[in-house]
Amino acid sequence: MRIVILPDPTAVARFGADIFVQQIQKKPASVLGFATGSTPLAMYQQLINDCQSKKVSFKKVISFNLDEYLGLATTHQQSYRYFMNQHLFDHIDIDKNHTYIPRGDATDPAAACQDYENKIKEYDGIDIQLLGIGRNGHIGFNEPSSSLMSRTRVKTLTRATIEDNAHFFSADEYQPHMALTMGIGTILDAKKIILLATGKSKASAIKACVEGPLTAACPASALQLHQQATLILDEDAASELNDLEFYRHIERENLKLKEQMEK
Ligand code: PGA
């Protein structure tokens, strides 16, 4: 795992956006995995700015989102389709026909999950998957106890996740308790993984993810198995890590190496 610790959420957003921009510049038809939630919003704003200033074009990009609420139509204001349109797709030059999100309104959700897996394979897998992390260590909607080998399927959300996401819903609005989500196995198949975390409320989940045992009790700990997973953290999210100084040292050494190679 590469652990990058930055001063604040703005720096996290910029660092994450740069990785995506470089990926698209290298491979215009990249297959990108996107995430919803509060954390990626600042990074999406950076990508919007980069697209509008013509630094990058999403014209050939294909995207797959991690998850979607079960039972919400794509037009529902709380659906993740709506979220992605509102916070990213409507402001960049991506072809929306090439943006995939699990079908929350499918009459046969299990078949929709299988179709989703097949579609990802059709595009030869995901080049970079973006992740947030839940306070309980979830990635996507893979809650604690999810199989570390799981594929896209329907999952029941924990009370903690429902409460954490309640602020997106108004008091009289129906909040789904189930979702379709890529599995942990699906996520681990991505060629690269970028996890963003900011704020003190994520510090203990980050500690469990990086320094805890590999366990279904913390789904994000499965990233320990991935060869190219990068965690981009602000100081608050990194604050409970035991080996903080070592992670900073590694980054400094890698930077030195890179500078020497570029000379
Ligand atoms: P958040 O959610 O960015 O809204 O904190 C992260 C997640 O649940 O994956």
Evaluate: CB of 9 within 6 angstroms of ligand 1.
no
Residue 92, pLDDT score:
98
Q: Which pLDDT tens digit goes with each residue over 11-59? A: 999 999 999 999 999 999 999 999 999 999 999 999 999 999 999 999 9
Of 50, 65, 127, 136, the active-site residue reads: 136
What's the predicted TM-score (pTM) here?
A: 0.96
Largest CA distance in the chain: 61
What are 44's strand-pairing partners? none
pLDDT at 96: 98
The reply to whether ligand 1 has any atom less than 6 angstroms from the CB of 37 is yes
As a whole-number percent, the residues of the chain with pLDDT over 90 amount to 95
Find the mean pLDDT for residues 67-95: 96
Q: Is residue 158 within 6 Å of ligand 1 at its C-beta?
A: no
Instruction: Compute the distance from residue 250 Cα to the ligand 1 centre, in Å.
Output: 27
For residue 36, give the nearest of 67, 77, 73 by alpha carbon. 67
In tens, the pLDDT along 202-235 reads 999 999 999 999 999 999 999 999 999 999 999 9
pLDDT tens per residue across span 152-164: 999 999 999 999 9
Residue range 136-157: average pLDDT?
A: 97
* Tally of CB atoms within 10 A around 27: 12
C-alpha distance from residue 9 to each of 38, 40, 48 (Å): 11, 10, 17
Establish whether 98 is a catalytic residue.
Answer: no
* Apex 209 CA angle, 203 and 214, nearest 5: 150
Of 36, 165, 193, 195, the one to substitute when testing ligand 1's pocket (max ligand atoms within 8 A of C-beta) is 36
Question: Under a CB-based contact definition with an 8 Å cutoff, are residues 193 and 223 in contact?
Answer: yes
For residue 263, name the pLDDT band (cuts at 50, 70, 90).
Answer: confident
Cβ of 38 below 6 Å from ligand 1: yes
- 138 catalytic? Reply is yes
Residue 168 pLDDT greater than 90, yes or no: no
